[in-house]
Structure 1
Amino acid sequence: MRIGHGYDVHRFADNCLLVIGGVTIPHTQGLEAHSDGDVLIHAICDALLGAAGWWDIGHHFPDNDMAYAGIDSRVLLRRVYDDLVVAGWQVGNVDATVVAQAPKLAPYIPQMRELLATDLHIEPTAINIKATTTEKLGFVGRKEGIAAHAVALIKKAESV
């Protein structure tokens, strides 16, 4: 078994969608990024890549490569998953925290868990997502952006 940690942050921007955990969330602004800016999925990708010892998301999907411009981050997560499977790993569980002063994310967490479980071929109970604020402190508290942390456990795939 191996454990990895991931972290990501994006600033708010006008004229883009807010996508977190694969779910489009109604909000006055979205997150600025080369991809769709899904901080949660980016943190999970980094946690999985870190557990495997494979650098980080920016190394695998560089922001100067136009092939990834505007890409759905679920596509990136599925590619990370596929690479893990080829290397003989399976995902054990993921525990993540999204740090956002606004919008409120709790109503969207069940759908996020379902989507991510589908992409990682695990039960939704193996994915935990929490949302918190910073009590109005720092860039998150000033509603300038959103951050996410994730921890993932991978284990050698069981023989069938």
Structure 2
Amino acid sequence: MTQLSDIRIGHGYDAHRFAEPEDQRPLMLGGVHIPHDRGLLAHSDGDALIHALCDALLGALGRGDIGRHFPDNDASYKDVDSCVLLTQVMSMVHKEGWRLVNTDLTILAQEPRMSPHIEAMREQMAGLLSVSAECVNVKASTTEGMGFVGRREGIETHAVVLLGR
């Protein structure tokens, strides 16, 4: 029988504004390059989906947030591949005796269209998380033109995780 002390949930959120086209930053989400004329502005590669996932995992562990572990004033994280950050967070998860049961991830973006890239994101993150792709759900929506996402100023992401002993 599963005890309540054997499971933990975590929630993560992240949002980044789009960089200017002349910055020539690639748009990375879920460890996948998404063809678009603008990437996300950030100290790292700007992968808001992986950042939200890291926050959810750290939250489930009771270890703060991504900024605590990978501060944006640390030059060693400048333009870092967020997959590296997720790998380090998963090392903490495993070191503390936990495993990912599943994660549910949401991308809010007016543009570009995400559906052609969802499966690649699931596969990429499943590999980084050491789980099967069926344990990683990625979905996307628009905000019907409302807010900063609707005005095409940036992208917002949410993540929920369930950890088990």
Q: 2:33 aligns with which of 11, 20, 24?
A: 24
Q: 1:129 aligns with which of 138, 147, 160?
A: 138
- How far apart, CA to CA, are the structure 2 residues paired with 1:119 and 1:67? 21
Matched, 1:77 2:86: yes
- How far apart, CA to CA, are the structure 1 residues paired with 2:31 and 2:129? 13
Give the letter for the 2:14 counterpart: D
Q: Which runs of 5+ in 1 are unaligned?
A: none
Q: Normalized against structure 2, the TM-score is what?
A: 0.94
SS at match of 1:118: helix
Indicate the residue corresponding to 1:4 in structure 2.
Answer: 10
- What is the CA deviation profile of residues 94-137 of structure 1, one whole-angstrom value per residue up to 9, with x for unaligned ones? 00100000000001010000010000000100000000000000
- How far apart, CA to CA, are the structure 1 residues paired with 2:95 and 2:62? 14
Indicate the residue corresponding to 2:48 in structure 1.
Answer: 39
Matched, 1:64 2:70: no
Q: After TM superposition, give the deviation of residue 28 of structure 1 in Å.
A: 1.0
- How far apart, CA to CA, are the structure 1 residues paired with 2:163 and 2:61? 8
CA RMSD across the alignment: 0.5
- Could you list the structure 1 runs, at least 4 aligned residues long, displaced by more than 6 angstroms after superposition: none
Matched, 1:49 2:58: yes
Q: Normalized against structure 1, the TM-score is what?
A: 0.97
Q: Which runs of 5+ in 2 are unaligned?
A: 1-6
Residue-pair matches, total = 156
Indicate the residue corresponding to 2:164 in structure 1.
Answer: 155
Give the letter for the 1:100 counterpart: A
- What is the CA deviation profile of residues 22-70 of structure 1, one whole-angstrom value per residue up to 9, with x for unaligned ones? 0111101110000000010000000000001000000000000011000
- How far apart, CA to CA, are the structure 1 residues paired with 2:125 and 2:37? 25
- How far apart, CA to CA, are the structure 1 residues paired with 2:17 and 2:151? 11
